[in-house]
Amino acid sequence: MKTRKKMTKGHLNRKELIEASKKAVGNRAKHLAECAECRKALEFLLKFPVAGQLPLADAPTGWINKAVALAEKKKVVDGLSRVLAHLIFDSWTMPEPVGVRGEGAIEHRRLRYRAAEITIDIRAEQARDEWHMVAQAAGEYKSRPVLVIGKNVYYSDENGLFQWADKKPPRHILLKSNEGVIEFPELSWKKTRKN
């Protein structure tokens, strides 16, 4: 009992274990020679010399999502059921309210599409050299849909909003879920709004 108490009191931490393994004499070396638990810990430290290193950092979420989406993309190629969305509202085609000049509002655009039971709203806003986009799909989904624009795949946040920014506004959009693919008609961004 006495021996055990003496030994447990002198258990070694990471640094002490490494030091003790290098020295043949001293209290720590003696403890290491006698203590099976510390020897086990040292064995592990030597086997995995990465102990003490900072944990590996996570890649940015967008990169991970893009890599995850590689398998999703394949499914599109494989061919799921496809539905074409139709445009039901475009703010650029609406007449300007009396007394409002069109120049400022041309930097904003609101679009609404419908496909089967799904309604998709898209809001576009041009700021400096970028277009800030927000989209929301309302309807019954069994699986979480993703928005596919060219090579990029976007996931919705906890509020069901897809948000992204790009130098160019999107022309070809797909909304994908396990149930199928909703394909949007090609979007034109020519500022041909009627005043």
Partner 1 sequence: MTDCELWQRIIAGDDAAWAELVHKYQSLVYAVSTRAGLSMSDCADCFQQTWVLLFRNRHRLKDPARLSAWLVTTAKREALRLRRRAARTEEEWDNSSLMATGPLPDEEMEQLECQAQLEIALKEIDPRCRNVLKAFFFASEEQSYDEIAAAFGIPANSLGPIRRRCLERLKQILLKMGYLEERKEGKEPL
Give the residues lining the site for partner 1 (CB under 8 A).
Answer: 4-5, 8-9, 11-15, 35-38, 40-41, 43-45, 47-60, 63-64, 66-68, 70-72, 74-75
Select 122 or 153, whichever has its Cβ closest to partner 1: 153
Q: Whole-number minimum distance, CB 64 to partner 1, in Å?
A: 5
Q: What are phi and psi of 162, to 5 degrees?
A: -95, 130
Select 13 or 188, whichever has its Cβ closest to partner 1: 13
Q: Whole-number minimum distance, CB 57 to partner 1, in Å?
A: 6
Select 105 or 180, whichever has its Cβ closest to partner 1: 180
Q: Whole-number minimum distance, CB 5 to partner 1, in Å?
A: 7
Return the closest-CA partner of residue 149 out of 113, 175, 123: 175
CA pair distance 167, 159, nearest whole angstrom:
25
Select 10 or 90, whichever has its Cβ closest to partner 1: 10
Return the closest-CA partner of residue 78 out of 145, 176, 149: 176
What the block records as the tokens of 58 is 């996570």
C-alpha to C-alpha distances, 122 to 104, 114, 132, nearest whole angstrom = 19, 11, 11
Q: Whole-number minimum distance, CB 89 to partner 1, in Å?
A: 33
Select 71 or 98, whichever has its Cβ closest to partner 1: 71
CA pair distance 7, 175, nearest whole angstrom:
64
Return the closest-CA partner of residue 167 out of 150, 155, 184: 150
Select 143 or 195, whichever has its Cβ closest to partner 1: 143
**Residue carrying the six token digits 């070396």:** 29
Q: Whole-number minimum distance, CB 180 to partner 1, in Å?
A: 15
| DSSP letter, residue 92 | G
Considering Cα of 40, then 44, then 46, then 52, what sign does the dihedral take?
negative
Q: Whole-number minimum distance, CB 86 to partner 1, in Å?
A: 29
